[in-house]
Structure 1
Amino acid sequence: MTDLALVSSLARAATHPDPAFPRFHPRPAQGWINDPNGVSYIDGKYHVFFQYNPDSARHRLIQWGHVSSADLVQWEEHPVALVPQAGGPDSAGCWTGVVTLDDGVPTAAYSGVQDHGGHSQVVIARGSSDLVSWNQDGHVAASMPTDPMVTAVRDPFIFRFNGARYAVQGAGLADGRAALLLYSVEDLEHWEYKGIWLTSSDPVAAMHAPAEIWECPQLVEVPVAGGGSTWVMMFSLWLSGDDHEHANGVGHLIGSLSADPETGLPVFTAATGGKSDLGRDFYAPQIVQLAYSSPAATSAASSAAAFASALMWGWANEGPGRDGRRGRTQEEIDDAGWSGVLTHPRLLSVADGALVVAPVPEVSAYRGAAVASDASGSVDVPAFAEVGVTGSGPVSLRLGSGADEQPVYSGAVAAGEELRIFIDASLVEVYRSGSVATTLRAYPLAGEAWTLDLPAGATADVWKLTLPR
């Protein structure tokens, strides 16, 4: 196993030999990564952990990698945080979970699996004040429920309501429904199971979150445009046979939390929902609840978003090739020695009853020299770029030309809206004002260039991305 040195993740990425390796999204230079885990903001630093196999570009021997940042721009890599313990409840992997403060002590609560193919349990580990060193003593806070209806459980998420601490886990039921399980967590080391909380037979959930297992459940309070707040519940929609294809992607429900008049336990009532990302290469997001105020939010548009109280990261897997995009085979991934990218951090809010996802204002720090201003028609775009599009009509992004041309993104911009497109080697993130994002992977061949095609009346500003000094 190779531990990560305390170095700038983005500075090292700039010299990576693979031209498809992202330079502006922190990750180790080698190995497999997937779900963001333990996303937290403690003592002035953002910490993002992630499922990690440092020894190959394959989904096995899962540990927790770790990066941190004080400003969401410069990222530092840290040594591996959590490692499977021989003979322990996590001997077959330290899977998805969260990090929270428990009486001031950074504490991870994660899915541990003892044998491959076995059920997961909630395992607790305690961290140092800087979250770099961890004590794994194998303490199990919650085991598989004895309810025979519950056939699969995973991915704990902790939230607070009415001054009390609760947790949910994603689950699958014997009758094929997906479900959330609810726990009372007065003592973080001993979770009290409260039963099946919500299932995919809920009419709103059935429409917006169909799945056999709800993975990576999230529940956070986000601001509503015009004032107030609402609750957003998010799930990764697992289907048998997915094998990292994730055809159903990620869905969310928007609703309210109230106290049950008899038990006092929280009750979630869904009002509406939708897709949380419109791309096929986005899965397993994690959201951190916080009171967020960005010093970079200076424009009118970003100032409104700066009051958002939830930040989200997602996993962009290596694309197998979809919708005319060229993918990478497993052999090509093995040769490259790395797999998986985390998205930019994203602000969540709700407007007109719909989820709005925007990049944090801080990522504007990556803007370098402007390479085009008010450009129209077909616009050449660098391999590392930010693009802002205004106007109205259909917009498309493609790679290459002629017989080898790949369509990568197509969408529309309406009058008064803006598209912000980030290209980081093989990762494309598209943000449309007032909507959710679209996350895609595409792999340029040597000599291939990116081209943005605009309708009459639409224009684009293009910046080359550079690392701030």
Structure 2
Amino acid sequence: MTDLALSSSLAMAATHPDPAFPRFHPRPAQGWINDPNGISYINGRYHVFFQYNPDSARHSQIQWGHLSSADLVRWEEHPVALSPQAGGPDSAGCWTGVVTSDDGVPTAAYSGIKDHGGHSQVVIARGSADLVTWEQDGHVAASMPEDPLVTAVRDPFIFRFNGARYAMQGAGLSDGRAALLLYTVDSLDDWKYQGIWLTTADPVAAVHTPAEIWECPQLVEVPLSSGGSTWVMMFSLWLSGDDHEHANGVGYLTGSLSADPVTGLPVFAPVSGGKADLGRDFYAPQIVQLAYSDGSAPAAALLWGWANEGPGRDGRRGRTQEEIDDAGWSGVLTHPRVLSVIDGALVVAPAPGIEAYRGAAVASGAAGSVAVSAFAEVLVRGGSSGSGSGSGSVELVLGSGADAQVVYSASLAAGEELRIFVDASLVEAYRSGSVATTLRAYPAPGEDWQLTLPDGATADVWKLSLPA
């Protein structure tokens, strides 16, 4: 396989032969990708690993791809970080996991599967200081718990609380509940199972995060708009028969973390929740907790998610598996997103650095119907109550006439803002004070994008371009 180390992923995308290939969401030019993994910020660089099959556009023989950036805008692609080891605990795939520092040594903890259809184990690998070179010796830190209730387990996540290191994994139980399993991690080489930590039997979780397995569990401290912080859990909501459709999407819970008075173990008490994204094409996000700014409150939490290819959802035209195979690629990661909590609800915004992709202005204060290019950013503003309400529905439409498809439609109240990014076949829409909506749509030859605004609303439009 060609060594792509230190090549510019975005520069390659600009010349990709497939017009549906996103140019401003870095990924390898070919192959399958899914879950973002091992997201970390070390020595001034962001590192994003991801599930990767470089040999085809299908979900098989999964490895870890690797991108890095100093500014979240200019990305470099590195060689494959982790790959299945013949005869090892990951011989059938190196699946979802995290990267952490173990006494200064970058360390990956991921789900390894030895046999297709078998149970996963937590496998450990050690990395070089720049995270480019990895040593895999097949060390298993945690195996399937000897608990008759636990029928499936996957996707380790590591967190700290009260000075101690813990881990959790998503799970499914024999009675149909989704669950979290808790581990103490005094040594990254040997995790101690502490039992079932939380399940969908919790009344708050039952409402906001229904699933048969909680996949890709996350637990981070997120800033509150009023000051301080709160704990946010996030789960990808797996149902049997999903086959990458993921009808339940991704849910989150907000709540408190306290120490059990007897055991000292952390106890999470959910108080509210909701959807982490309102689109049908968003799954398996991972969050990185950035360094604490003053020792008392987190500086930021950044999230990346996975948007897959698919047969079309909610009236949108999709791609068949044959078309995906012919294109030779599948899957894209979202823009990095900043998390906060306002009035108990999760708020998601694009990372500030993304504005560096703004190129030439196409329209300013436009109204009515606005043409949008295949690579564009749009800022929509609802009118003020004193100048026409500007309330109504915003629609992003692909094509015209009988073949037109409404890709995105949303209400807009006076004073609200929407930021919409169109990157070939990927649409991300961010509403002020709310979560994002992630969607896929594939332009046919000659089709154009059109934005329709309600009375009183205006839009600024920029073409996207690569920064110098």
TM-score by length of 2: 0.96
**1:248 aligned residue:** 248
Q: Partner residue of 2:449?
A: 450
Q: Which residue number in structure 1 is paired with residue 377 of structure 2? A: 386
- The answer as to whether partners of 1:2 and 1:54 remain within 8 angstroms in 2 is no
Deviation at 1:322, TM superposition (A): 1.3
- In 1, the alpha carbon distance for the partners of 2:182 and 2:397 equals 45
Q: 2:191 corresponds to which letter in structure 1?
A: W
Q: Is the 8 A contact 1:308 1:347 kept in 2?
A: no
Where 1:140 maps in the other structure, the secondary structure is: strand
Going from structure 1 to structure 2, the CA distance change for 1:422 and 1:79 (only over 3 Å counts) comes to same
> Secondary structure of 1:277's partner?
coil
Task: Give 1:291 deviation, angstroms.
Answer: 3.3
SS in 1 for 2:433: coil
1:66-89 deviation digits (Å, cap 9, x = unpaired):
000000000000000000000000
Residue 6 of structure 1, CA deviation: 2.2
2:261 maps to a residue whose letter is P
> 2: CA distance between counterparts of 1:307 and 1:176?
35
Which position in structure 2 is the counterpart of 1:103?
103
2:358 is the alignment partner of 1:367? yes
Report the counterpart of residue 386 of structure 2 in structure 1.
Answer: none
**Structure 1 gap segments, 5+ residues each:** 294-305
List aligned pairs for 1:37-436, cutoff 5 A.
37-291=37-291, 308-391=299-382, 392-436=391-435
Query: 2:387 is matched with which residue?
Result: none
Tell me by how many angstroms 1:5 deviates. 3.5
Q: Which runs of 4+ in 1 moved over 4 A?
A: none
Output the amino acid matched with 1:286.
Answer: Q
Deviations 1:338-369 (A, max 9, x none): 00000000000000110000000100000001
**Normalized against structure 1, the TM-score is what?**
0.96
Equivalent residue for 2:385?
none
C-alpha separation in 2, matches of 1:4 and 1:168: 34
Number of aligned residue pairs: 457
Q: What per-residue deviation string (whole Å, max 9, x for no partner) do you get for residues 256-301 of structure 1? A: 00000011100000000000000000000000011388xxxxxxxx
Instruction: Identify if the C-alpha distance between structure 1 residues 368 and 54 changes in structure 2 by more than 3 Å, giving closer, same or farther.
Output: same
The question of whether the paired residues in 2 share the 8 Å contact of 1:62 and 1:94 is answered with: yes
Paired residue type of 1:347: V
What do residues 372-425 of structure 1 show as CA deviations (whole Å, max 9, x unaligned)? 010001100010000000013210100000011011000012222210000000
The amino acid of 1:203's aligned partner reads P
Contact in 2 for aligned 1:398/1:405 (Cα 8 Å): yes
Alpha-carbon contact 1:4-1:80 (below 8 Å) kept: no
- CA–CA separation in structure 2 for the residues paired with 1:309 and 1:322: 33
**2:388 equivalent in structure 1:** none
Measure the CA separation in 2 of the matches of 1:3 and 1:222.
38
Distance 2:274 2:6 in 1: 40
CA contact (8 A) 2:290 2:298 kept: no
Whether the aligned pair in 2 keeps the contact of 1:319 and 1:442 (CA below 8 Å) is no
- Partners of 1:171 and 1:3 lie apart in 2 by 37
**Percent of pairs with identical residues:** 84
| CA RMSD after TM alignment | 1.1
Q: Distance in 2 between matches of 1:197 and 1:20?
A: 43
Letter in 2 for 1:364: E
SS in 2 for 1:206: helix
- CA, structure 1 residues 211+184, in 2 after alignment: closer, same or farther (shift >3 Å)? same
CA distance in 2, matches of 1:292, 1:258: 19
Q: Which runs of no fewer than 5 residues in structure 2 stay unpaired?
A: 383-390
Task: For residues 150-181 of structure 1, give each alpha carbon's deviation from its aligned partner in whole angstroms, at most 9, with x where no partner exists.
Answer: 00000000000000000000000000000000
Any conservation in 2 of the 1:32–1:338 contact (CA below 8 Å)? yes
- 1:3 CA displacement: 4.2
Answer whether contact 1:308 1:349 (CA < 8 A) is retained. no
**Letter aligned with residue 264 of structure 1:** G
Please give the alpha-carbon distance, in whole angstroms, between the structure 2 residues aligned to 1:148 and 1:4.
45
Structure 1 position 4, deviation (Å):
2.9
**What SS does structure 2 have at the residue aligned with 1:331?**
helix
- The corresponding residue for 1:303 is none
Matched letter for residue 377 of structure 2 = E
Contact 1:291 1:310 in 2 (8 A): no
Taking the aligned partners of 1:354 and 1:193, their CA distance within structure 2 comes to 32
Return the offset for 1:2: 4.5
Amino acid at match of 2:412: V
State which drifts further: 12-21 or 1-10.
Answer: 1-10
CA distance in 2, matches of 1:50, 1:286: 10
Measured in 1, the distance between the counterparts of 2:13 and 2:244 equals: 25
CA contact under 8 A between 1:421 and 1:431: conserved in structure 2?
Answer: yes
Contact 1:427 1:440 in 2 (8 A): yes
Structure 1 position 320, deviation (Å): 1.5
* Counterpart-to-counterpart distance in 2, 1:436 and 1:245: 20
Q: How far, CA to CA, are the matches of 1:4 and 1:58 in structure 2?
A: 21
| In structure 2, distance between residues paired with 1:52 and 1:278 | 25
Partner-residue secondary structure (3-state), 2:414: coil
2:51–2:65 Cα contact (<8 Å) kept? yes
